[in-house]
Structure 1
Amino acid sequence: MRGTAAVSSKLPRITLIFWVMKIAATTLGETGGDLIAQTLNVGYLISFLVLIGIFVITLVCQLSVRTFQPVLYWTVILSTSMAGTTLSDFMDRTLDLGYALGASVLVTALLIVFAVWKLSGHSFNVVDINTFGGELLYWIAILISNTLGTAFGDFLSDDSGLGYGGSAVLVASMIGVLALAMRYTPISNVLLFWVAFVLTRPLGATAGDLFSKPVAKGGLGYGTYSSSIVLLALLVGLIVFSYRQRARVVDTTEVESLDAAANLVVGMAGSRHAELDEAGVLPRPGEHRDNPDKSAAPGTG
């Protein structure tokens, strides 16, 4: 998907590295959420309440900063993924709503958020989100979409017959089609972005289950501990890489600014030289001008 330059510096540019980090964060959200709720036996409801509390705290920090901070941004993304995992499992397994009813509730909630977003006059385009209200709606939409994506991913893994691996390949293929549509069709890039954004969550959910579930259930058997540690290391490495990329952009911008300033000075000097030359102030090539003090006639003085 082609990159776009951000208007607001609080959100990342939408580039390939953004999508890689989003998938890593959503996959970690699945294994991390299951680690707390299932492996540590905290339970879905308590896990969700703890994680939603972390989300609120990190969101307040994100809304308070004036510039894009990769660590903070991706911490909020991760908290929405983990909270979405536990909330979806709570709705489906504890409340026994089932995937269809649970997904219907979440789709309705997401449509309401987008309706409020539209009526508020804020842009859906992430590169144009530069107000407090627009960013708040952005994060609410992400929280709901991550929960919805978890439900969709669990449905594919458990009820479609594709298993974890097949479901992950299917969702990845769907995202690939969206990438081609964004590049080669006139379909709104904003619409395609949000559809792809939602689909990264079921991709993360199915991939996370593929890594962590036992072999007997169709997984690779790495468990939630090992999977989460590896994914966390990957995400941290990508965040460090993004910081270095930002530093290079800043350095390049500074060099370009210095070059522009130097060119401006040279241009101004050239213009001034041309003005003086046109006025006859500067000597012509080969012309010698005597000092007026030494131009008196011989024999005087």
Structure 2
Amino acid sequence: MVSMTRRERTAAVALTAWALAWFVIMAWNGGGSWHFFVQGAQALADTDDAIRGGLHTYAAAPVLQIGPVALLAAMAAMPAGAAGGLAIWQVLGAAAGLVVLWQVRQVGAAARPDLLHDGRLDRRVAAAAVCFVPVWLFLAVGVTHVDDVLALLFAVLALRATAVGRPVLTGALLGLAVDAKPWALPFGCLLLLLDGRRKALSAATTMTAVIAAAWLPFFLADPATSNALHFTIPNTELSALRVLGVHDARTPPWDRPAQAVLGTVLALLAWRRGRWAAMVLLAVGARVVLDPGTNKYYVAGVVVGAALWDVLGSRAEWPWWTATACLGLFTARWVPMPDAAHGRLALAYVSACAFLLITPAGAGTFSDRSGPTCEAAEMTIARRMANKVPEVTVYFWIIKVLATTVGETAADLLNMNLGLGLTWTTVVMGVLTAGALVLQFRSQRYVPWRYWLVVILISVVGTLITDNLVDNFGVPLEVTIAVFAAALAATFVLWHRSEHTLSIHTITTPRRESYYWAAILFTFALGTAAGDLLAERINVGYLPSAGIFAAAIALIALGFRLRVLGAVLAFWAAYVLTRPLGASLGDWLSQSRDDGGLGLGTVGPSVVFLLASVALVGYLTRSRVDAPAERPTTPAPVNARAYP
């Protein structure tokens, strides 16, 4: 047993006293949000109430923005009564903070052994704990938000599980984090730190299963559970949203989805840049930058992420990021200042965090991926395969247009004709697409039916994403087009910076394939929005819109033939435009005559185009006329004149 020095004992006693003092302070009139958990636990336990209880809880009370795991945790304490349950979870929540700090230390010991020898690791953890304790105890004791406590605890435990190479445990913990609080979804990016693609896939499968097990029963029992997805909260004068120009009295319906998307993108960028220790900080930072200013306990997630970075990634010996979050985002809420200053502070802090992604690499930042988990992330992209994308032939473009037409009509068929609604249609198609992608990624070569199955399913999902944003969340088509165009451009930039090519002749690693399918998804979503804008909003009509897009594709082909356009630019421009071409044709066939269509409905065109696609894919499977040619594995230049 290692004995502590006198200095270490003094520091431990002082830190313990500091924590106890803050526990007493926060417990005094604490538990500010506990009534939500009492209400939710009682409703969940009341399975006899077929309207407001049991699996109808979220449909009847969308204000309960709390995951089922957190409600079950609160329910477990209810035998002690509301007051007794509060006391139990205040103690457990405070203890969870100690577990978080200990796990940060353990991850540091595994990933930064260089900090162990002279005690620097323990000093970093202790210094970060000084700033961490007040903010965490406000969350766990002051407001007693059990859902956030569990989500952050599970996320840090999942990070520890990646360090020891436990994929199933990693996936289960990340799934439980989402089951405790849905905003934890961006933490799923942590599974990329596992050693090898097989382990990452195992973790992702486990995570998906755990999330589905908790949430699907509610959606299956009561489709109105989707009401919880659209619930809004007050957008106060302290809000960072107001600094960004959103002055509505309540949060816009796109706010929470935008938090999840932005958090995921930032976490992925952190992983890609080798700054994996900042993944949690950036994922939570997205929540704060779009924060309506209502809840001070959001800062606890920032402080957890900042502590991870200060201990594991920062070159500084003192926890400047944790201290700044504690003072600027938490303590400042009790300091008299103009309301708008709080939103500016939040925006400034998150912008500084995002700056981590573009600053030059330095020693001790893991940007060289020297730690064991970073080496594992690198190994997931090292293995080369045969090219998994077909040759670009006339069959490629025919099936592409057929697939886009099926995507448009099939989405309408499932949504309206079969009565699933946008939410359920999106869930079903998302699950099917995820399964098809698993099959595609497991293949070591181009298999026609697997490849084109993914294309057809992604075409439906791309349509549904745009329809959800426009119809469910009220995002204007113009904004949707701008967002997906930016997402597609960002994908291409990251792809080229990483692989030095955008050629589809070299889809020979899992990383390149990931970029490829991300680009495909964004082209479908962008094309859907562009087609709807031209045909419906500008009121050009379906058939004239199809003619416009066909003419644009013809111009691109001519530019390529005349060597005005490079192969990569010509291919991706044509790929984007075939989406609105197919969508316009699908709408022209299926929509009523009053709306400018032929009135054939969605069933007939969907079946005909799907059968045509299946027939062509069957022919390609037997003939292999589109099988990728053998090429050198060196990246092709971006301006190569051979078709990509």
If the length of structure 2 is used for normalisation, what is the TM-score? 0.37
Structure 2 residue 510 is the aligned partner of structure 1 residue 150: no
Structure 2 residue 557 is the aligned partner of structure 1 residue 179: yes
Match of 2:570? 192
Match of 2:392? 14
Q: Quick one: structure 1 residues 11 and 248, their matched pair in 2 at CA, closer, same or farther if it must change by over 3 Å?
A: closer
Match of 1:220 among 598, 603, 615: 598
Deviation string, structure 1 residues 146-194 (Cα, Å, up to 9, x no partner): 0111011111110233200000111011111111111112321101100
Q: Could you tell me whether the CA contact under 8 Å between 2:534 and 2:541 is conserved in 1?
A: yes
Over the matched positions of the two proteins, sequence identity in percent amounts to 36
SS in 2 for 1:120: helix
Q: Could you tell me whether the CA contact under 8 Å between 1:213 and 1:219 is conserved in 2?
A: yes
Structure 2 residue 585 is the aligned partner of structure 1 residue 207: yes
Structure 2 residue 525 is the aligned partner of structure 1 residue 161: no
Give the partner amino acid of 1:72: R
Match of 2:432? 54
Deviation string, structure 1 residues 15-57 (Cα, Å, up to 9, x no partner): 1110011000010011011111122121212212221221111
Match of 1:279? none
Q: Could you tell me whether the CA contact under 8 Å between 1:106 and 1:147 is conserved in 2?
A: yes
Distance 1:248 1:36 in 2: 32
Distance 1:98 1:43 in 2: 20
1:122 deviates by 4.8
Match of 1:271? none
1:10 deviates by 1.6
Distance 1:66 1:249 in 2: 13
Deviation string, structure 1 residues 197-252 (Cα, Å, up to 9, x no partner): 011110111011011101111111111111101111111111122123217989xx
Match of 2:470? 92
Q: Could you tell me whether the CA contact under 8 Å between 2:449 and 2:621 is conserved in 1?
A: no
Match of 1:257? none
Distance 2:423 2:400 in 1: 25
Alignment of 1:27-38 (within 5 A): 27-38=405-416
Match of 2:241? none
Q: Quick one: structure 1 residues 215 and 239, their matched pair in 2 at CA, closer, same or farther if it must change by over 3 Å?
A: same
Give the partner amino acid of 2:479: L
1:8 deviates by 4.2
Structure 2 residue 544 is the aligned partner of structure 1 residue 127: no
Distance 1:46 1:248 in 2: 36
Q: Could you tell me whether the CA contact under 8 Å between 2:590 and 2:602 is conserved in 1?
A: yes
Q: Quick one: structure 1 residues 111 and 35, their matched pair in 2 at CA, closer, same or farther if it must change by over 3 Å?
A: same
Q: Quick one: structure 1 residues 125 and 41, their matched pair in 2 at CA, closer, same or farther if it must change by over 3 Å?
A: same
Q: Could you tell me whether the CA contact under 8 Å between 1:34 and 1:86 is conserved in 2?
A: no
Give the partner amino acid of 1:171: F
Give the partner amino acid of 1:178: I
Q: Could you tell me whether the CA contact under 8 Å between 1:26 and 1:205 is conserved in 2?
A: yes
Match of 1:79 among 446, 457, 473: 457
Give the partner amino acid of 2:616: L
Match of 1:116? 494
Match of 2:517? 139
Show structure 2 runs of 5+ residues with no match: 1-384, 629-644
Q: Could you tell me whether the CA contact under 8 Å between 1:84 and 1:143 is conserved in 2?
A: yes
Q: Could you tell me whether the CA contact under 8 Å between 2:488 and 2:522 is conserved in 1?
A: yes
SS in 2 for 1:113: helix
Distance 2:577 2:626 in 1: 31
Match of 1:102? 480
Query: Which sits farther off after the overlay, 164-173 or 8-17?
Result: 8-17
Show structure 1 runs of 5+ residues with no match: 1-6, 251-301
SS in 1 for 2:624: helix
Q: Greater RCO between the two (CA within 8 Å, min separation 6)?
A: 1
1:59 deviates by 0.8
Q: Could you tell me whether the CA contact under 8 Å between 2:446 and 2:627 is conserved in 1?
A: no
SS in 2 for 1:223: coil
Alignment of 1:286-297 (within 5 A): none
Distance 1:139 1:130 in 2: 13
Distance 2:480 2:419 in 1: 23
Match of 1:41 among 409, 419, 438: 419
Give the partner amino acid of 2:572: W
SS in 1 for 2:419: coil
Distance 2:505 2:625 in 1: 20
Q: Could you tell me whether the CA contact under 8 Å between 1:123 and 1:129 is conserved in 2?
A: no
Distance 1:19 1:248 in 2: 12
Match of 2:620 among 236, 242, 246: 242
Query: Which sits farther off after the overlay, 106-115 or 220-229?
Result: 106-115
SS in 1 for 2:499: coil
Q: Quick one: structure 1 residues 140 and 215, their matched pair in 2 at CA, closer, same or farther if it must change by over 3 Å?
A: same
Match of 1:267? none
Give the partner amino acid of 2:547: V
Give the partner amino acid of 2:564: P
Give the partner amino acid of 1:224: T
Please report the RMSD computed on the Cα atoms of aligned residues, expressed in angstroms.
1.8
Query: Which sits farther off after the overlay, 109-118 or 58-67?
Result: 109-118
Distance 1:47 1:119 in 2: 36
Match of 1:285? none
If the length of structure 1 is used for normalisation, what is the TM-score? 0.77
Match of 2:548? 170
Distance 1:116 1:141 in 2: 11
Q: Could you tell me whether the CA contact under 8 Å between 1:44 and 1:86 is conserved in 2?
A: yes
